[in-house]
Chain A
């Protein structure tokens, strides 16, 4: 198997680097937030102790690594597969000015407020590491590669990681064998038993199968701008029968965690979108806290003209 973990200080572009590595090296990008949400859903609201998270995440990522190479960005992630072969642990660092700048932009804060935000964020992360992994600070010797993202784009850094993968021969070792995966799961079950938990049978993070070529292009556009996305992560019930069974639901195409925004793409003609518009109005009424942006056919056509994309997508 090849598993790459990317850790870093708050305000560094760990997720951007993970995405760039996934694109360049053909790895599966695992988004921990998605993974954690699905694990929580698997346990149906049961409280999960902090110290149970490392074996749960190891179990879920281990399942994925059976048939694909995996990259993930997770605070303390270098500890998940400690001692396993075929693992590359990366630490991303950056000077405070760059990290403050990133916070200024992402949170739309002035420099002083961004400094305070970053300080608070660092404290929170150290506390979470301590709760989950029993240690607040990372140890430098636990990383295979330390990269500085100041003045270097994620694409440039991904090329360095690619070289490290090649020189280590990580891909030649193949995927995680069934026996090794069984060992990972056995260890996870053993550790989780202390908390009275059993790992779920299925890892939730699966490949994205797009329903329409436009969706795939839109996903590539988001990738291009290094914007994290999830495809159809959630359905919103809109109507129920008298027994409480869901009669109608709506599943937006994308969720963009960075903007807390759902995006729905529709390539139907304007006159035919009445039904969908009704659903979106219902969604906004029932779930007023949910932000959703709808892209209609003409919006998508404009994007296609703007980016001179394939006409194939427009005609579907």
Chain B
């Protein structure tokens, strides 16, 4: 098996570690300014968003809390869950809080739409989205994204939390993989 850090499946690097760091600092500064004087809760979706959340949170200057949730994934296998559901819920309520949903990538928008619908029903004071990657070319569910680090082309990417068959999450860059 190939080492995740020496991936022959990588076609090219899309964003280097340095580019990612610079952009995350910019977005974190924008969030800090927008939420000045308020407390913020970052909600990340396991597993891919964790890498982005930790990098982002380190550069946000307003007081913040973090929480995590996970959802069931679609598969075409018999016996798999028929509809999306929360498989790991938030530890704490978000009623009256300023919540930012932290995503690794917004693609078709299906998952984000579901999560927003679910979280909005819990009565947060405000609810926004911050995504590392925004792939608008395949967007179906229209989603108002408040903060986006990079818009990406119509290619399958890995790294910085994004996986291919659970590999490559630990790459410090974002890279396009070769078609199988």
Contact = CB atoms under 8 A, between A and B. Distances in A.
Which of A224, A293, A313 gathers the greatest number of chain B CB atoms within 10 Å? A224
Interface stretch (B23-31, B37-45, B81-89): B81-89
Given A155-B85, A225-B84, A225-B114, A101 B74 contact: no
Contacts of B111: 225
Contacts of B84: 224-226
8 contacts: A98-B121, A153-B83, A223-B83, A224-B82, A307-B74, A307-B75, A308-B75, A309-B75
B123 A97 contact: yes
Interface stretch (A38-46, A201-209, A256-264, A282-290): A256-264
A23 B82 contact: yes
Interface string A80-106: 000000000000001001100110111
B82 A20 contact: yes
Contacts of B86: 153
B117 A259 contact: no
B178 to A, nearest CB: 12
Interface in B130-169: 138-142, 144, 154, 156, 164-165
B122 interface: yes
B146 to A, nearest CB: 11
A123 interface: no
B142 A102 contact: no
Interface in A260-314: 261, 263, 293, 295, 298-299, 301-302, 305-310, 313
A10 B82 CA distance: 25
A305 B156 contact: yes
Contacts of A313: 76
Interface residues of A, number: 43
Interface of A: 19-20, 23-24, 94, 97-98, 101-102, 104-106, 108, 150, 153-155, 217, 220-221, 223-227, 256, 258-259, 261, 263, 293, 295, 298-299, 301-302, 305-310, 313
B17 interface: no
B162 to A, nearest CB: 10
Interface class of chain B by DSSP: loop
Given A98-B121, A225-B110, A105 B116 contact: yes
Given A20-B83, A307-B76, A101 B120 contact: yes
Sorting the interface of chain B by its residue count into under 10, 10 to 19, 20 to 34 or 35 or more gives 35 or more
A132 to B, nearest CB: 29
A263 B119 CA distance: 27
Given A108-B144, A298-B179, A305 B164 contact: yes
A301 B85 contact: no
A221 B117 contact: no
Contacts of B107: 306
B120 A307 contact: no
What 9 pairs across the A-B complex have the smallest Cβ distances? A101-B120, A98-B121, A101-B121, A225-B110, A224-B74, A23-B82, A105-B116, A309-B76, A97-B123
B95 to A, nearest CB: 8
B92 interface: no
A227 B141 contact: yes
A37 B107 CA distance: 31
B91 interface: no
Contacts of A310: 76
Given A97-B121, A308-B165, A155 B82 contact: yes
A301 B111 CA distance: 19
Nearest to B86: A153
A245 B88 CA distance: 57
A104 B116 CA distance: 9
Contacts of B123: 97, 101
Nearest to A305: B156
Interface string B86-117: 10000000000000000000010011011011
B122 A23 contact: no
A299 B155 CA distance: 8
A105 B75 contact: no
Contacts of A104: 120, 127
A302 B153 CA distance: 13
B121 A150 contact: yes
A258 B117 CA distance: 14
A155 B83 contact: yes
Contacts of B110: 221, 225, 227
B12 interface: no
